[in-house]
Structure 1
Amino acid sequence: MRPTLLTGFLLLFCLVCFVYAWMMNAGEAAAAGLGILVFLAVRAFIFQTELRGLAVSLSVTRDADKTILHQSSIVNIRSSITAVTKHLTASFEDVFPAGAVLTAGSPRFTEGRASYSLNLPVIGDSFFQGVRITCSDMFFMSTLLVGRDAEQPKLTMYPTGIAATHHAVGHGAGWSAQEYDRPALIAGFDTRTMRPYSEGDSIRDLDWKLSGKHQELYVRLRMDASGGLPALLIDLPQRGASEELCLHFAETVVGVLENLKTGEEYPVIFISGAMYLDTIRSGESDKIIAMLKEAGTIYAPEYLYRLRHPSVIRRSTERGHQLSDQERRIEGLIRLYAGRYPTDFERTVRNISASLENETHITYVTAAHGDLSHMTYLIHETHKNERHATVFVVGSAGTPREAEIRNAFTLAGADVVEMI
C-alpha cells in the first residue's frame, strides 16, 4: 500500500503541526496533527478492507484457441473478469505464464475483457500467474497479484518435431500397423500396435478413430517397459557452443524430464563427449539444473576415442604427404589409444550399462557434436542389451548434418531419432 499525493501533503502538514506544537507549546496544533493521523489510519483500514473484498470477488475466465502446442507456437487468449470494486478505482491486467512473450493485443482488461496472443517457448506444462490489480482511492493506492483460476487453462508445449497427436507409420492403418503416441514418445515409452477387437478386451483400449475409419473395432496394445523404468542420458554440449543452442538444449532436457514422470525416480546420467560427468536421480532438480548450466563450458576430451579415421589410413600411406593439423591431431589420438582395450570411455559405458538393471527404456539428449563415436557406442550398448533407445538431437534439424546424424544413430540401433 502506497500513499497518494494528497496523503503525502496531509502527512507533511501533520509533521508541521507537531513541530509547531513542540516549538510553541501549542496543544491545539498537536491535536490537529493527531487528528490527521487518526483520519489517515481509518482511511487505510477502509482501503485495505475494500481491497480484500475486491480480491475475493474477482472471477477470471480464460479461453485459449489451443492448449496443446508445438515449441514456440502462437496461442490466442481471450479473458474476461468480474469484480466488485465499491469505491475503489481499479485496473486489471492478465499475467501470462513465465517465459511467454506477448505478440499481439494487450493483456489489460477493458470493460472486463482482454484479447491477446502469446509466443510460448517453454517446454512442458505452463500456467497463468493470475491477474494483476492496480487500485486506488483518494488517499492510498496498491498493486497486487491475485492467482485465482490461474491454473486454467493449462498450456502444454512439446519440443519442435514432437507432434501432439497420433501418427501412423507406414501405409494405412490396420492390425499390423505400428504407431507412435508422440506425447509419450518423448518419454521413450509408448510404442503401440493395433489389432482387431476380440471378446474380453477392455473397452478402454478401443481406438475409436481407427475403428470409425475402418468400420471395425480395433484395440491398441501398449508395448511398454514391462515393469521396467526409464533412464535419461544427457550429452552436454562442449565448450564454445552458442548460448542459443545451450538454451534450446536445456529446454529439451526439461521437456523430457517432465514427460518421463512415472511415479518413481530414475537415473539421469551426464556425459560430455567421451567424458563421464555424474549420475543424478531425477528428483534432484537443483542438481540437474546446476549441471545444465555447465553446458557450453565443459572442456571435454576428444570425441574420437577409439575409431581410426579413414583419411588418416589413406594419407599416412602416401609418400611425401604433409598431414593437415586435423589429421595430425587424429594420428595423435590413434597413438594415444592404440592397443588399449577397453578404453576408459568404453569401461565407463559398460559400468553404466551394468547399473541399469531395471531401466529398459533409455532416452538420449545430445547436440551431436564431434564424430558421434561416443554416442553410437552408447546406443549400440543399449541395443545390445535389448533396451529401447530414443534419441533427441538438438540443433541439427534442417542442417546439412541431419541425414548423416540420423543414419549414424539408426545404424547404431536407435529405435527413434528425433531432430529438435
Structure 2
Amino acid sequence: MSTATSQKTALGHLRILDLTRVLAGPWCAQNLADLGAEVIKVERPGCGDDTRSWGPPYLRDADGNDTTEAAYYLAANRNKRSVTVDIASPEGQQIIRELAMQSDIVLENYKVGQLKKYELDYASLKQLKPDLIYCSITGFGQDGPYAHRAGYDFIVQGMGGFMSLTGERDDLPGGGPQKAGVAIADLMTGMYATIAVLTALTHRDRTGEGQYIDMALLDVQVAMLANMNMNYLCNEKVPVRWGNAHANIVPYQTFATSDGHIIVAAGNDGQYRKFVQAGGQPELADDPRFNTNPQRVQNRDTLVPLLAEMVKKKSKPEWIALLEAAGVPCGPINRINEVFEDPQVQARGMKIKLPHPEASSVNLVASPMKLSATPVSYRDAPPLLGQHTDEVLHQLLAYDDAKLDELRSKKII
C-alpha cells in the first residue's frame, strides 16, 4: 500500500497504524518498519509515547547538550512517522478511523475495552475495512480473570515463573529471585506479535480475509520458559534457581579471573579435562570424584571452589586464549562498551548511525535480521513528537491547511 519505501524491501507495500507505546508494541512495529513497512506512530499531543520522558540518559547534540529524546524511546522507534492525535476526542477518533481505512495493520496496546468506547476496536473497524489485520497487545489478554489488569513487564516476569528460575541459588550469598536486565516479556511479546502479524498477512494474501490477534505478555512469558516448563510437566518437580550454574552439567558457569569474569561451558568429559589441563591442574580430571559429569554434578560443592581458585590465577584474556586453543567452549562477560568494541559485533555491523534533526546524527543498534534478497532498511531516525502530523494528514487524508489549523487550535492534533 505504501509508496514511501523501496519495493526491494519485503514489506514496502504495507502501511501500519501504530497505536502502541512503551516497548512491546513499538518493538513489533519497529521490526516491521525495518522490513520496509510504512509505520505511522500515533501519539498524544504534548507528551507522546511514555518512554519519551524515561530519562536520563538523553540523546546529546553536537555540542554535548541533552536533547529531549530519551534513549529508551530511541531504542524502539526508528523508521516511523509520528502523528499527534487526541484519541479521546470525537474528532481525533475520526482521524484514527480514516487512517485505519488507509492501513493494512493496526497495532494497539490499550487496556481491554478502552478502544471499544471510541468505536476503534476490531469489530468496529472491521465493518469499515473487512481485510484489516488488528493486533492487540495487553498484559493478560482479552479474557480471563486478569484481563482488565494493567500489564507490566516486571510483574509478568514474576507471575510467569521467570524469576523463580533466575538469580543465585537460595542457599548461597545473594540468593533469591531476580528479574532480567531488560524487559524480556515486553521484547518477546513484540517478537511473537511480529510473527503473528506476518502470519495474518500471509493468510490475508491467500484468502482476502483480515483477522484479530490477541497477544498477552503473561502468555508469552509462560511459553518462553521452554525446557524448564517441560522439566516440570514431565516429572512435576518444580525447577529452582541455579544462578550462573547449570542443573545438569559441571562446570557450566561463570568464574572470576584475576581481572574480570569468563564463562566456561564444558559440555563433556573431554572438554572438562582440557579445561583443567589448561589451568595446570590435570589431577582434577583424574580424581574419581570429578572424572565424569555425573560425579562432578554430585560433587559440585567440592569441585567448584577448586576450579574457582584455579581460574583466579590467570587474566580474562589469558583464559580465553588458552581455552579457545584447547577447544573448550568459553567466552568473556562483556560490559556493553566491550560488546560494541568486539570485532565480531563490529564485523556484523550491529551499530548504525542515522541523521537526526536535533543531534545531527544518532547511533542505533542494527536489526539482527539479515536477508539476502530483501534486506532490512534504515531510513529514518526515531521521529520527534508530531514530526509528521501535517505531512501524513495532508498525504493520506487530504486535509488542507485550514483543516489542520482548526484541529490544532482545538488541540486535537
Same fold (TM > 0.5): no
Normalising by structure 1, what TM-score?
A: 0.22
Structure with the higher fraction of residues in helix conformation: 2
Normalising by structure 2, what TM-score?
A: 0.23
Q: Highest relative contact order (Cα 8 Å, sep 6+), 1 or 2? A: 2
Structure with the higher fraction of residues in strand conformation: 1
